[in-house]
Amino acid sequence: MSGFGGFVLRRGIGTVITLFAISVIVYVVFFVTPGNVAQITCGPRCSPEQVHQVAQQLRLDDPLYLRYWHFLQGILVGQDYSTGTSVEHCSAPCLGLSYQGDQQVTQLILAKLPVSLSLVFGAMVLWLILGVGTGVLSAWRRGRFTERLLTGITLAGVATPVFVIGLVLMIVVCGQLQLLPFPQYVSLTDDPEQWAWNLLLPWLSLALIEAAAFARLTRASMLETLAEDHIRTFRAYGVGERSIIGRHALRGAFAPIIALNANNVGSAVGGAVLTETLFGLPGIGQELVHAVNVVDLPVVVGMVLVIGFFVVIANAVADVLYAVADRRVVLA
C-alpha cells in the first residue's frame, strides 16, 4: 500500500468511516433534541390524530435503529416514496426526503451547493490576496503605514462578527454610495458578470474574517525562512531583497498556506451560515440552520454529511499539495 493509489484508498476508507460516525452522531443528537417533529410538520393546530398520521407518514414512530437502517438503505439502493398521487423513486445515493417540503434531500443539496461554492471560492481568492499580501508586508516592510493599515484591517476582521461588517458594508456601499447592487444570488452560468458583482460584498466580508489568519501564518513562515542561514548567504552574495522575498521566503510559506486554505475552504462550505443569512444567499449553511430549527432530520444529516465530506476532501487535497510542495513528505 504505497504511492498515490494507496493514499487514495486509505483516505477513502477513512472518509467513509468518518462520515458514517458523523451520521450516527447526528441521528442520536437529533433524536434527543426537543421538538415534536410531527407536530411541527403538521402545523400547530393539528389534532392528535392528524399528528399521528403525519408521524406514520414520516416513519417517526419507528425505533431509532430502524430509521437509521432505512436511511442507510436509501443511500445504498435508493428509496421509493409517494407524492399522494404517484410513486416516485429517489435513486441511490438517496439521502431521504425533507420532512417539511417532501423534497429529495439530494436535490436540495445540489440546488444549494453552487451558491455555497461560489461564495467560498470567490472569498478564498480575496482572503489569499489580502492575507498573504498583509503577511508579506508585515514580514518585509514592518512598521510602514500600509502594513499597519492592512494588519489593522485584518485584525478588525477577526474581531468583528460578519453580521456587523457585512451589514455596515452593505448599508454604506450599496445603500449610501450606491456603488454596488444589494447582493442577490445570480447563477454563474446565467450571467457571470452579475454573479461576480452580486457576490463581491459577501466575498469581501467572508475574506476579511479569514485574512488575518493567513497574514499571521505567512508572516511567521517568512520570518522563519528569512532567519535561515542560506538566506543570509544569499544576502551576503548580494541577491536582491525582492528576489529573496519572492523566490525564497514566500516559497517557504507556500505549504502551510495551502494547508490552512484547504481547511478553511472545506469548513466554509457549510460554515458560512451568518454570511449566507445576512446577504440572503441560499446556500448550504443557511438551509442547515433552518433545518435544525424545524428538526428536519433528513436535511440536517444530509447537509452535515456533505460538509463533512468537503472538510475531509479538503484535508486530503491539502496533504497532496503539501507533498507536491515538499517532495520529502510521504503521503500517509
Partner 1 sequence: MSEALVASQAAGTDISVPAGSGARQFWRRLRAQRAALVAAVVVALLVLVALAAPLLTAIEGQDPFTYHPSLIDSARGGVPTGSFGGITGGHWLGVEPQTGRDLFARLAYGARVSLGVALGATVVQVTIGVVIGVAAALGSRWVDQLLSRITDIIVAMPLMIMSLALLAIVPSSFPRPLLVALVIGLIAWGNIAKIVRAQTLTLKELDYVSAARLSGWGTWRIARRELLPGLAAPVITYAALLVPINISTEAALSFLGVGVKPPTPSWGQMLTAADVWYQAAPQYLLLPAGALFVTVLALTVLGDGIRTALDPRAASRLRIGTGRKREAKADASGKKVAVDASGKNFAADADSGRSTLDPSIKTIKSADANGVKDANGEKEDPA
Partner 2 sequence: MRQPSIIARRVAVASVSLAVAAGAAACGPKDNDAKGSGGDSTPHKGGTLTVLNSQPQEDFDPARLYTSGGGNVPSLVFRTLTTRNRENGAAGAKVVPDLATDTGRPNKDATVWTYTLKKGLKYEDGTAITSADIKYGIERSFAAELSGGAPYLRDWLVGAADYQGPYKDKKGLSAIETPDSRTIVFHLNKPEGEFPYLATQTQFTPVPKAKDTGTKYEQHPISSGPYKVVSNQNDGETIVLERNTYWSTATDAERKAYPDKIDVKSGLDSSVINQRLSSSQGADAAAVTTDTNLGPAELAKVSGDKELAARVGTGHFGYTNYIAFNPTVAPFNNVKVRQAISYAIDRSSVVNAAGGSSLAEAATTFLPNQKSFGYDPYDLFPAGASGNAAKAKELLKEAGYPKGITVTLTHSNDKDFETSPEIATAIQDALKKAGITVKLQGLEINDYKDKIHSVKTEPGFFLAHWGADWPSGGPFLAPIFDGRQIVKDGANFNTGLLNDKSVNAEIDSINKLTNLDEAAKRWGALDKEIGEQALTVPLFHPVYKRLVGKDIKNVVISDWTGVLDISQVAVK
Selected range binding partner 1 among 36-44, 98-106, 186-194, 226-234, rule: CB under 8 A = 226-234
Rule CB under 8 A: is residue 171 a binding residue for partner 2? yes
Helix (H) or strand (E) holding 280: none
Q: Which of 46, 220, 231, 331 binds partner 2 (CB under 8 A)?
A: 46
Residue 321 has which C-alpha cell?
Answer: 499539495
Nearest approach, Cβ of residue 96 and partner 1 (Å): 17
Dist. CA 117–CA 105, nearest whole Å: 18
Return left, alpha or beta for 209; rule: phi > 0 is left, psi -120 to 50 is alpha, else beta.
alpha
Binders of partner 1 among 297-316, rule CB under 8 A? 300, 304, 307-308, 311-312, 315
Rule CB under 8 A: is residue 311 a binding residue for partner 2? no
Nearest approach, Cβ of residue 117 and partner 1 (Å): 15
Dist. CA 223–CA 249, nearest whole Å: 8
- 207: three-class secondary structure by DSSP: helix
Selected range binding partner 1 among 67-75, 85-93, 188-196, 261-269, rule: CB under 8 A = 261-269
Residue number with CB closer to partner 1 (18 or 53): 18
Q: 185 φ, ψ to 5°?
A: -65, 130
Residue 285 has which C-alpha cell?
Answer: 449553511
Rule CB under 8 A: is residue 277 a binding residue for partner 2? yes
Dist. CA 70–CA 73, nearest whole Å: 5
Residue number with CB closer to partner 2 (61 or 224): 61
Rule CB under 8 A: is residue 171 a binding residue for partner 1? yes
- 81: three-class secondary structure by DSSP: strand
Rule CB under 8 A: is residue 255 a binding residue for partner 2? no
Dist. CA 166–CA 278, nearest whole Å: 7
Q: Cell 476582521 sits at which residue?
A: 157
Q: What angle do the packed helices 297-325 and 105-140 form, to 10 degrees?
A: 40
Rule CB under 8 A: is residue 249 a binding residue for partner 1? no
Q: Kindly report the length of the chain.
A: 332
Nearest approach, Cβ of residue 331 and partner 1 (Å): 6
Q: What is the dihedral of CA 161, 166, 172, 175, to 10 degrees?
A: -140
Binders of partner 1 among 273-292, rule CB under 8 A? 273-275, 285, 288-289, 292
Q: Which of 17, 72, 129, 324 binds partner 1 (CB under 8 A)?
A: 17
Residue number with CB closer to partner 2 (12 or 101): 101
Binders of partner 2 among 281-300, rule CB under 8 A? 282, 286, 289-290, 293-295
Closest CA to 249 of 262, 260, 239, 261: 239
Nearest approach, Cβ of residue 91 and partner 2 (Å): 17
Strand segments, DSSP code E, in 38-121 are 79-82, 87-90
| Contact footprint for partner 2 (CB under 8 A) | 33-36, 39-51, 53-54, 56-57, 82-86, 100-103, 108, 111-112, 163, 167, 170-171, 174-175, 178, 181-182, 184, 277-280, 282, 286, 289-290, 293-295
